[in-house]
Amino acid sequence: MKLFRSLLVAGVSVALLSGCGANNENNAAPTTAPAAESAATATPAPDALSAASIVDKAEGFTTAVSEKGTWIVAILNDLTVDTDVVVAGEFHDKGAADGDIYRKLALYTQDADHKITASFTLTAPKVTVQSENFKVQGGTIKGDVYVEANGFSLDKTATIDGNLYFKSEDLKATAVLDGKVTGATEIK
C-alpha cells in the first residue's frame, strides 16, 4: 500500500507540474483521485518551493496556502475549513526563483487535454489574500474573500459564493475578475 501511495503521489505531482503555468487558461490540477498527505510514504517530501501541495484536509490546506506553503495548491474534493484562511508569502511560477511572482489555487481536476473534469468547493468563513498575483481557478470558494495584494485573479472557471472585498481601489484596479462573484464586490 505504501508503494502504491508513493507512486500515486509521484504521478500526481508530475501531472500537476507538467500541466500548470502562469497566466495560461489551460492551467489545471491533475486527473487522479486525492492523495492524502502522509509522512509515511516512501517517497521523500518534495521541495516546498517547487512542488505542488495536493491537500484533502483543512490543516494541510491552511499550511499549504501559508508562507510555508507552495506556489500552487490543489484540492481534489470539497473541503471545509472552520477557521479563517490567510494566503500569504511570495512565490514564483512553478517554484522557479527566476519565475514571475505567481500563486494559484486549483479547485479542480483535469483530463490529459487539460479540460476540467470535476470542480470542487472550498468552504471557509473568510479567505484573506496577501500573496501577490494569486489566481483562483476551476471551482468555488464559499465564503468572503478579502484581497490585500496586487494581481488577484478569478478565472472564468471559478466562483466566489460570497462577497469580494479589496483593501483599496488600487488593488482592485490590478485584479482580473473573469469569474463569478455572487455577492458584493467592493472596497472595504
Going from N- to C-terminal start, the domains of the chain cover 2-187
| Local structure of residue 147 (DSSP, 8 states) | E
d(CA 75, CA 30): 10
Q: What pLDDT, in 10s, does the model give residues 12-47?
A: 443 443 444 444 433 444 444 333 322 222 233 333
Structure confidence at residue 95 as a pLDDT band (50, 70, 90): confident
pLDDT surpassing 50 at residue 146: yes
Buried b (16+ CB within 10 A) or exposed e, 71-107: bbbbbbeebebeeebbbbbebbbbbeeeeebbbbbbb
C-alpha cell read off for 186: 467592493
Q: What pLDDT, in 10s, does the model give residues 155-177?
A: 999 999 999 999 999 999 999 99
